[in-house]
Amino acid sequence: MNALVQDVDPPAVTGGSAIGTSLRTLAEWVDSVAALTRPSAIHWCDGSDAESAALVAQMEGDRTLLRLNEQTNPGSWLHRSHPDDVARVEHLTYVCTSSQDDAGPNNHWMSPADGHARMDGLFDGCMQGRTMYVVPYCMGPIDSPLSRCGVEITDSPYVVANMRIMTRMGAPALARIEREGTFVRGLHSTGELDPNRRFIMHFPEELTIKSYGSGYGGNALLGKKCHALRIASYQARQEGWLAEHMLILGIENPRGETHYIAAAFPSACGKTNLAMLIPPESYREKGWKITTIGDDICWMRPGTDGRLYAINPEAGFFGVAPGTSAKSNPNALETIGTNTIFTNVGLTADGRPWWEGLGEGEPAIDWRGNDYDCSRGPAAHPNARFTVAARQCPSYSEKAEDPQGVPISAIVFGGRRASLVPLVFEARDWTHGVLVGAAMGSETTAAATGAVGVMRRDPMAMKPFCGYNFADYFAHWLSFDNGANKLPKVFHVNWFRKGDDGKFLWPGFGDNLRVLEWMIKRVDGTADAVETPIGALPREQDLNLDGVQLSDEARDKLFGFDESGWRAEVDSIGDYLRGYGPRMPDALHAEQQRIAAMLGG
Q: Is 296 annotated as a binding residue?
A: yes
| CA pair distance 35, 48, nearest whole angstrom | 27
20 vs 191 pLDDT, higher one: 191
The pLDDT of residue 267 is above 80:
no
In the beta sheet, which residues pair with residue 347? 353, 365
The pLDDT of residue 380 is above 50:
yes
DSSP codes joined into one string, 227-262? IIIIIHHHHHHHHT-EEES-EEEEEE-TTS-EEEEE
The pLDDT of residue 106 is above 90:
yes
Residue 17: pLDDT band with limits 50, 70, 90? very low
pLDDT of residue 455: 78
Angle at which helix 470-478 crosses helix 586-598, to 10 degrees, equals 80
Q: State pLDDT tens for residues 440-483.
A: 988 765 555 566 667 789 999 999 999 999 999 999 999 999 99
Q: Is 395 annotated as a binding residue?
A: no
Coil/strand/helix, residue 33 = helix
Coil/strand/helix, residue 11 = helix
Q: Nearest to residue 520, comparing CAs of 203, 249, 295?
A: 249
Coil/strand/helix, residue 23 = coil
pLDDT of residue 14: 28
> pTM for the complete prediction?
0.94
pLDDT of residue 266: 86
Q: Is 273 annotated as a binding residue?
A: yes
Residue 7: pLDDT band with limits 50, 70, 90? very low
Q: Is 269 annotated as a binding residue?
A: yes
Averaged confidence pLDDT in the chain: 94
- Strand 93-95 versus strand 108-109 pairing type: parallel
Q: Nearest to residue 137, comparing CAs of 205, 55, 222?
A: 222
Q: State pLDDT tens for residues 26-78.
A: 999 999 999 999 999 999 999 999 999 999 999 999 999 999 999 999 999 99
| CA pair distance 491, 305, nearest whole angstrom | 22
Q: Is 225 annotated as a binding residue?
A: yes
Coil/strand/helix, residue 549 = coil
Return all residues near 372 (Cβ < 8 A) that are at least 6 apart.
346, 363, 364, 365, 366, 379
37: left (phi over 0), alpha (psi -120 to 50) or beta: alpha
pLDDT of residue 20: 87
Return all residues near 494 (Cβ < 8 A) that are at least 6 apart.
414, 415, 416, 417, 421, 422, 423, 424
**Contact (Cβ atoms closer than 8 angstroms) between residue 271 and residue 460:** no
84 vs 453 pLDDT, higher one: 84
| CA pair distance 198, 93, nearest whole angstrom | 9
pLDDT of residue 451: 64
Which of 1-10, 185-194, 221-230, 477-486 shows the lowest mean pLDDT across its residues?
Answer: 1-10
496: amino acid identity, one letter: F
Residue 345: pLDDT band with limits 50, 70, 90? very high
Residue 85: pLDDT band with limits 50, 70, 90? very high
Provide mean pLDDT across the span 122-134: 97
Alpha-carbon torsion angle 142, 143, 146, 147, nearest 10 = 20
Q: Is 578 annotated as a binding residue?
A: no
The pLDDT of residue 11 is above 60:
no
Q: Is 511 annotated as a binding residue?
A: yes
Q: Is 271 annotated as a binding residue?
A: yes
The pLDDT of residue 13 is above 60:
no
Coil/strand/helix, residue 34 = helix
**Would the CA dihedral through 432, 452, 366, 509 be positive or negative?**
negative
Domains and CATH numbers, the chain: 2-65+88-240 (3.40.449.10), 244-314+397-598 (3.90.228.20), 316-392 (2.170.8.10)
Return all residues near 191 (Cβ < 8 A) that are at least 6 apart.
122, 126, 197, 198, 212, 213
**Contact (Cβ atoms closer than 8 angstroms) between residue 490 and residue 413:** yes
- Write a three-state SS string for 438-500: HCCEEECCCCECCCCCCEEECHHHCCCCCCCCHHHHHHHHHCCCCCCCCCCEEEEECCCCECC
Return all residues near 209 (Cβ < 8 A) that are at least 6 apart.
184, 185, 186, 187, 188, 200, 201, 202, 203, 222, 226, 227, 230, 231
Q: Looking at the chain, how many residues does it have?
A: 601
pLDDT of residue 443: 75
Q: Is 148 annotated as a binding residue?
A: no
**Contact (Cβ atoms closer than 8 angstroms) between residue 315 and residue 387:** no
Q: Is 272 annotated as a binding residue?
A: yes
Q: Is 316 annotated as a binding residue?
A: no
The percent of residues above 70 in pLDDT, for the chain, comes to 95
Return all residues near 199 (Cβ < 8 A) that are at least 6 apart.
92, 93, 94, 118, 119, 122, 210, 211, 212, 213
End-to-end CA distance of the chain: 68
Residue 87: pLDDT band with limits 50, 70, 90? confident
Provide mean pLDDT across the span 568-592: 97
Q: Is 217 annotated as a binding residue?
A: yes
Q: State pLDDT tens for residues 401-451.
A: 999 999 999 999 999 999 999 999 999 999 999 999 999 988 765 555 566
Alpha-carbon torsion angle 484, 516, 246, 181, nearest 10 = -50
pLDDT of residue 9: 55
Return all residues near 580 (Cβ < 8 A) that are at least 6 apart.
104, 105, 469, 470, 471
User: Which active-site residues does the annotation give?
Assistant: 269
Provide mean pLDDT across the span 562-589: 96
**Contact (Cβ atoms closer than 8 angstroms) between residue 255 and residue 519:** no
Q: State pLDDT tens for residues 316-338.
A: 999 999 999 999 999 999 999 99
Residue 601: pLDDT band with limits 50, 70, 90? low
Alpha-carbon distances of 44 from 16, 58, 74, 184, 476, rounded to whole Å: 14, 16, 28, 17, 38
